[in-house]
């Protein structure tokens, strides 16, 4: 049997006592800090959709700037070329893409979706639901105020186009006071062919406007606001508003980029809305085919491009059509002043 020397036993006991004392005096090691939640992916909208939104916005700006104060036949033809220059399906995609950017300006709508985006599983689940059923966007918190922005902004642009078209259409009567307006349009067949070509030619946005809309597409995080104001719009909403909300929701989740571009492009198409524009174009071609003097071309421009296109926009969004202006009371001519001859009605079919 092994015998320990008393001095060694004493040393061991002292070491144990010292360790215990040090342990009692030391600060407890804190538990590891919880990990910070993962940052959600950035708000993303595919660049090609932003380009088409800018192209749509640019067209609406140019068309709404057409003046009814025509000085000669070339003024009319220039305005016709400006107004006819859109392809219906691209026009519609651009309108929906712009609606998405508009919805992304709503802080409540974006904030809720950003919370979902921070949870990878929840983000993917909502993404798949939005793709399979776009109406899921309508039940997200903040949807009513975001829909109000879309309806007010896009519906307002359409209403402006209708109002401008009415003024241009009225000019078809007023311009007949000028003798040049009764002359035949030169190269009528070429003018009709040109309108058809412009109706199949892609539009492009202005570079500065594209950059501004790209910044605005970042929504409430780093986006430059578009300065839009509107009240809430209770459901039900039109398909165009719903599709705009859906694209905006996917963008806010970080799922609106090029990786999902095919799906996003499908979501931005609405057959019924495209049909409305296609009929407007068909009516334009028929009008130009029978139009002969310049003033009849003014009628075609006002009715079948500006009014009809604007009416499609108003209908798409569910906005109200602007009221028709009150007819002016007939002027009573004084005996000493010769009355103005009655203007001819443009001999074209509506």
Question: What pLDDT is stored for residue 228 in this prediction?
Answer: 85
Assess whether the previous peptide bond of 344 is cis (omega < 30° from 0): no
Compute the Cα dihedral for 274, 288, 161, 74 and give only its sign: positive
Question: What pLDDT is stored for residue 219 in this prediction?
Answer: 79
Question: What pLDDT is stored for residue 15 in this prediction?
Answer: 54
Question: What pLDDT is stored for residue 36 in this prediction?
Answer: 57
Query: Hey, is 184 helix, strand or coil?
Result: strand
Question: What pLDDT is stored for residue 272 in this prediction?
Answer: 78
Question: What pLDDT is stored for residue 313 in this prediction?
Answer: 94
What the block records as the tokens of 62 is 């140019």
Residue with tokens 């009240």: 231
Beta bridge partners of 293: 184
Question: What pLDDT is stored for residue 337 in this prediction?
Answer: 34
Q: Assign residue 140 a region: left if phi > 0, alpha if psi is -120 to 50, beta otherwise? A: beta
CA contacts within 13 A on the Cβ side of 225: 8
Q: Say if residues 306 and 170 touch (Cβ distance below 8 Å).
A: no
Give the list of residues 6+ apart from residue 50 with CB closer than 8 angstroms, or none. Answer: 97, 101, 210, 213, 214, 217
Q: What whole-number distance in Å separates Cα of residue 125 and Cα of residue 136? A: 12
Question: What pLDDT is stored for residue 347 in this prediction?
Answer: 55
Which pLDDT tens digit goes with each residue over 266-299?
Answer: 988 887 788 999 999 999 999 999 999 999 999 9
Q: What whole-number distance in Å separates Cα of residue 337 and Cα of residue 226? A: 53
Burial (Cβ within 10 Å: 0-12, 13-18, ≥19) of residue 86? buried
Indicate whether this model's pTM tops 0.75: yes
> Phi and psi dihedrals of 25, rounded to 5?
-90, -15
Question: What pLDDT is stored for residue 334 in this prediction?
Answer: 38
Question: What pLDDT is stored for residue 277 in this prediction?
Answer: 94
Q: In terms of Cα–Cα distance, which of 124, 123, 98, 103 is closest to 113? A: 123
The CA–CA distances, whole Å, from 81 to 161, 191, 242, 305 equal: 16, 9, 32, 11
Low-confidence ranges of the chain (pLDDT < 50): 4, 9, 22, 222, 330-343, 348-350
Question: What pLDDT is stored for residue 185 in this prediction?
Answer: 96
Residue with tokens 């459901």: 235
What the block records as the tokens of 146 is 């975001």
- Residues recorded for the chain: 350
Q: What is the dihedral of CA 112, 131, 98, 277, to 10 degrees?
A: -150
């Amino acid at each position: 049997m092994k015998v320990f020397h008393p001095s060694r036993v004493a040393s061991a006991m002292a070491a144990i006592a010292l360790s215990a004392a040090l342990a009692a005096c030391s600060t407890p090691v804190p538990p590891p800090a919880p990990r910070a939640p993962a940052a959600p992916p950035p708000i993303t909208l595919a660049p090609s959709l932003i380009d088409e939104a800018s192209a749509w916005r640019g067209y609406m700006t140019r068309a709404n700037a057409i003046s009814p104060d025509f000085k000669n036949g070339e003024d009319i033809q220039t305005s016709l070329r400006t107004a006819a220059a859109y392809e219906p399906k691209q026009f519609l995609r651009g309108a929906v893409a712009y609606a998405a950017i508009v919805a992304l300006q709503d802080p409540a709508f974006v904030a809720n979706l950003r919370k979902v985006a921070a949870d990878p599983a929840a983000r993917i689940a909502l993404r798949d639901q939005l793709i399979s059923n776009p109406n899921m966007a309508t039940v997200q918190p903040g949807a009513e105020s975001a829909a109000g922005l879309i309806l007010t902004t896009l519906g307002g642009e359409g209403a402006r186009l209708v109002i401008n078209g009415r003024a241009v259409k009225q000019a078809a009567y007023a311009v007949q006071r000028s003798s040049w307006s009764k002359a035949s349009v030169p190269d009528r067949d070429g003018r009709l062919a040109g309108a058809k070509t412009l109706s199949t030619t892609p539009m492009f946005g202005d570079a500065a406007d594209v950059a501004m809309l790209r910044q605005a597409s970042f929504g409430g995080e780093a986006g430059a606001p578009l300065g839009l104001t509107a009240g809430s719009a209770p459901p039900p909403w039109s398909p165009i508003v719903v599709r705009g909300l859906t694209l905006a929701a996917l963008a806010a989740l970080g799922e609106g980029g090029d990786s999902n571009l095919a799906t996003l492009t499908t979501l931005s198409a609405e057959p019924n809305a495209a049909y409305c524009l296609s009929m407007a174009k068909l009516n334009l071609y028929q009008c130009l085919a029978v139009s002969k003097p310049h003033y009849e071309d003014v009628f075609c421009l006002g009715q079948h491009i500006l009014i009809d296109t604007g009416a499609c926009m108003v209908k798409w969004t569910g906005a109200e059509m602007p009221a028709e202006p009150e007819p002016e009371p007939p002027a009573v001519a004084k005996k000493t002043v010769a009355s103005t001859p009655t203007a001819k009605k443009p001999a074209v079919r509506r």
